[in-house]
Structure 1
Amino acid sequence: MQSEAFPVRRRTVLCAAATLVMARGVSWAGTAGQADPLPSWNEGAGKQAILDFVARVTREGGPDFVPAARRIAAFDNDGTLWAENPVYFQVAFALDQVAALAPERPEWRDTPPFKEVIEAGPRAAAAIGEKGLLQVVAATHAGMTTDAFAAAVENWLRTAHHPRFGRSYDSLVYQPMLDLLGYLRANGFKTFIVSGGGVEFMRVFAERTYGIPPEQVVGSSCVTKFETRPDGTLVLVKEAKVEFIDDGPGKPSGINRFIGRRPILAFGNSDGDHQMLQWTAAGTGPRLLGLVHHTDAEREYAYDRQSYVGRLDKALDEAERRGWIVVDMRRDWGTVFPVEPAAERR
């Protein structure tokens, strides 16, 4: 069980921070009919359930056949497709932005919570709490154009490294989930991200990292304002006002609003994904629901019911009661992260 989580609600912070991750040098492509379409998965009930489900819904003439247009798969991002500890990566980005912008904002050196962040860096997250984090997010994101924001995230990904693994954040994606995404697409599925994370953050990296184009990313968003600059340049400017929270009960609404079809497959890892799984399960015809259970403290992290980051409690109970797939990371995954590209090694 994680012991250093800080008490910040996922929905509140992630709707305000717009973040991204652009994994370099990882493989997500799948090939239909290959000997083992999920090579990073250990043999077990979870892997077999996925293989059986895909075989059933793609078998023309079979009782569970689903036309390709209805093969919609929805995936949470944080904790499902890539890591989320010790803080959500969007939060890490926002905290690092304080240091990057501090020379232009000298008043921050004497103003909480920026003073604490400048002095302690990411370790200040626990001390400044949710209110402080929201101040940090608003101050570092509001007023930026969407293009400037994307450029800032790109630069952060090139320079920032995870405090435990010493790797770039965009290399901490889950290879087994990359295998799964590729396998599904090779079998006619359309894969979507449906996450509490900032949609503009995720759209920067999703296609390079997961093979999911920006129009198939659903996330939380803040209001943007269309402006014409004095030189005639047209921009969208981020405002410190929440437009949509794509977490918890917001996920079914987001699916309906932005996708327009109920998924037949959905994967998450926390109670923030509970309603998405319930909504998917409530449809007619064949369904596959899955949860990633973080049980591997050695290769990644171990946490669930008491964690403030990625809390998995009610959704886990329902998964066990209803027979949804619960992926035990330590038992079911032969590897967790992709082999680190040589250029990333330190």
Structure 2
Amino acid sequence: MKAFFTAILLFSTSVCAAEEILPSWNDGAARDAIIDFVECSTKDGCTKYIEPEDRIAVFDNDGTLWSEQPVYFQLMFAIDRVKEMAKDHPEWKSEQPFQAVLENDIKALKSSGQEGLMKIIAVTHAGMSTDEFAEIVHNWIATAKHPQKNKLYKELVFQPMLELLQYLRENGFKTYIFSGGGIEFMRVFAEEVYGIPPEQVIGSSIVTKYELHDGVPVLIRQPKIDFIDDKEGKPISINKFLGKRPVAAFGNSDGDLQMLQWTTAGEGSRFGLIVHHTDSEREWAYDRESAIGQLDKAFTEAKAKGWTIVDMKQDWKSIFPEK
């Protein structure tokens, strides 16, 4: 009888332990694939075992760790900055893409494309020290709210992905962000929101210049793009900053395709995952035809190469953290 109760206790404990893994994920192929990869890659003797020093996982940010609609959140930050700065720039009333921002014309702003976006980023993110910029971002993240969701932008992170980041770290993985978003924009909140320290956040950057202001050394942000960490830029920056190929990559759009290709092409155990936005009620539904976070070529390749595709509507019990 004692052996019977012991068996029941052990069974119950194992069930509870299993349920504690990725609790915001529904049972299904996506959750199973993640757990199978982590368990085997960290179990000595398993055919897919990965040495601790090689357990590197890279994540996109926009659309992968937090939402990105109706426009990228850093662009929303830049839009707010344009409106604040407009009083000193009357010429913006008739100059695109600034005119579109001041008139709240999102359609015209989107039509300006990457060139327009980079112009706005360069103007609103430069002309100040790195410390001054960090303080501006910090204040914005702490107070600005999404116009549709009426939540702080930092509250629009994906609870299932927060659990995934923690699960990987608990199993010896080092987690990095490689994003097309601005590196110094993300570094302000990445540790607080994702548990990823600044030195493990890589993104697009603008040129900075070393200067002495009243004998004090400062880094001044220049209105010139230095590097775009998107598409083929992602594996290039991974190689540049890490010096080794990751074993797992997580993205959501065609901008992440090359990162996923390069990561999963390595030898040994590899894992690729695409977050597919399918939930129009709790978040947004978009993919191949979207101007923001387009998922077309990467979606096709994910199916062909067996990368895990997360269907947000089906695979996630909840989208955002509950207060």
For residues 1-346 of structure 1, what are the structure 2 equivalents within 5 Å?
35-109=19-93, 111-120=95-104, 125-126=109-110, 130-229=114-213, 231-339=214-322, 341=323
Give the letter for the 2:39 counterpart: A
TM-score computed with the length of structure 1 as normaliser:
0.84
Q: Structure 1: which 5+ residue stretches go unaligned?
A: 1-32, 342-346
Q: Deviations over 1:71-92 (max 9, x none)?
A: 0001100000000000001111
Whole-angstrom distance in 1 between the partners of 2:209 and 2:263: 34
Q: What is the CA distance between 1:155 and its match in structure 2?
A: 1.6
- Per mean C-alpha deviation after superposition, the further-off stretch among 149-158 and 37-46 is 149-158
Q: What is the CA distance between 1:37 and its match in structure 2?
A: 1.4
Q: What is the CA distance between 1:131 and its match in structure 2?
A: 4.4
Residues 100 and 106 in structure 2, CA contact (< 8 A), matched pair in contact too:
no
TM-score computed with the length of structure 2 as normaliser:
0.90
SS at match of 1:192: strand
SS at match of 2:189: helix
Q: What is the CA distance between 1:125 and its match in structure 2?
A: 2.4
Residues 293 and 327 in structure 1, CA contact (< 8 A), matched pair in contact too:
yes
Whole-angstrom distance in 2 between the partners of 1:284 and 1:326: 21
Residues 78 and 120 in structure 2, CA contact (< 8 A), matched pair in contact too:
yes
Q: Deviations over 1:61-112 (max 9, x none)?
A: 3222211111000110000000000000111111110111223444544555
Whole-angstrom distance in 2 between the partners of 1:59 and 1:262: 21
Whole-angstrom distance in 2 between the partners of 1:288 and 1:112: 42
- Cα 1:127–1:66 shift into 2, 3 Å: closer
Whole-angstrom distance in 2 between the partners of 1:108 and 1:323: 48
Residues 176 and 335 in structure 1, CA contact (< 8 A), matched pair in contact too:
yes
Give the letter for the 1:86 counterpart: P
Give the letter for the 1:297 counterpart: S
Match of 1:19 in 2: none
- Cα 1:35–1:115 shift into 2, 3 Å: closer
Residues 266 and 280 in structure 1, CA contact (< 8 A), matched pair in contact too:
yes
Residues 122 and 225 in structure 2, CA contact (< 8 A), matched pair in contact too:
no
Q: Structure 2: which 5+ residue stretches go unaligned?
A: 1-16
Report how many residues are paired: 307
Whole-angstrom distance in 2 between the partners of 1:312 and 1:54: 26
Give the letter for the 1:234 counterpart: P
Give the letter for the 2:231 counterpart: G
Residues 265 and 287 in structure 1, CA contact (< 8 A), matched pair in contact too:
yes
Q: Which fold has the larger relative contact order, with Cα–Cα distance below 8 Å and residues 6 or more apart in sequence? A: 1
Whole-angstrom distance in 1 between the partners of 2:125 and 2:149: 27
Residues 290 and 327 in structure 1, CA contact (< 8 A), matched pair in contact too:
yes
Give the letter for the 1:197 counterpart: G
Larger Rg: 2
Q: Percent identity?
A: 57
